[in-house]
């Protein structure tokens, strides 16, 4: 029986070494998967250092499961990920309220319109931009979680 993967810490960015430890794969495998799976686009900083976000760690775990646990080929895993992503979009567009007990938001902006009006600072554009980035990241995580089963 294989050892379970560690929980993902509450951090914004992870180095390639940290992601390797969290997902049970070597850094060279992660670099290869970046070439094969267009969904993986870690941010690159000085010296070409890679920094992964939480949703990318979840995606890597999904890829690992498809390849190592379910026996998919790279091509098959790529197709399965695209299929799961499309299925999640279809479910949301059909107004499905939950997937495997996870409540879905009917439209991405509907529940946040009031929030945006309430917190939008007139004089602090940087904070407003950060809120939008966090909101987008949360939607990406929700999308990944909605197609995980």
Q: What is the pTM of this model?
A: 0.61
d(CA 55, CA 72): 21
d(CA 139, CA 134): 9
Domain boundaries along the sequence of the chain: 14-146
Neighbouring residues of 55: CB distance < 8 A, sequence distance ≥ 6: 137, 140, 141, 144
User: Which of helix, strand or coil describes residue 76?
Assistant: helix
Q: What percent of the chain has pLDDT over 90?
A: 46
Return the CATH number of the domain spanning residue range 14-146. Answer: 1.10.1660.10
Given a contact cutoff of 8 angstroms between Cβ atoms, the answer to whether 78 and 136 are in contact is no
Using CB atoms within 10 Å of the CB of residue 28, give its burial: 0 to 12 exposed, 13 to 18 middle, 19+ buried: exposed
Listed as ranges, residues in the chain with pLDDT below 50 are 98-123, 149
């Amino acid at each position: 029986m294989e050892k379970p993967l560690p929980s993902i810490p509450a951090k914004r960015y992870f180095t390639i070494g940290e992601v390797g430890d969290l997902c049970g794969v070597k850094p060279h495998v992660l670099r290869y998967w970046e070439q094969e799976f267009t969904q993986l686009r870690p941010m690159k900083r000085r010296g070409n250092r890679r920094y992964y976000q939480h949703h990318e760690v979840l995606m890597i775990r999904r890829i690992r499961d498809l390849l190592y646990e379910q026996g998919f080929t790279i091509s098959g895993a790529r197709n399965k990920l695209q299929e799961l992503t499309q299925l999640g979009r279809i479910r949301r567009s059909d107004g499905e309220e939950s997937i495997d007990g996870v409540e879905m938001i009917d439209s991405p902006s509907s529940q946040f319109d009031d929030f945006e009006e309430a917190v939008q600072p007139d004089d602090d554009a940087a904070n407003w931009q950060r809120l939008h980035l966090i909101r987008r990241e949360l939607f990406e995580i929700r999308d990944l979680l909605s197609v995980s089963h």
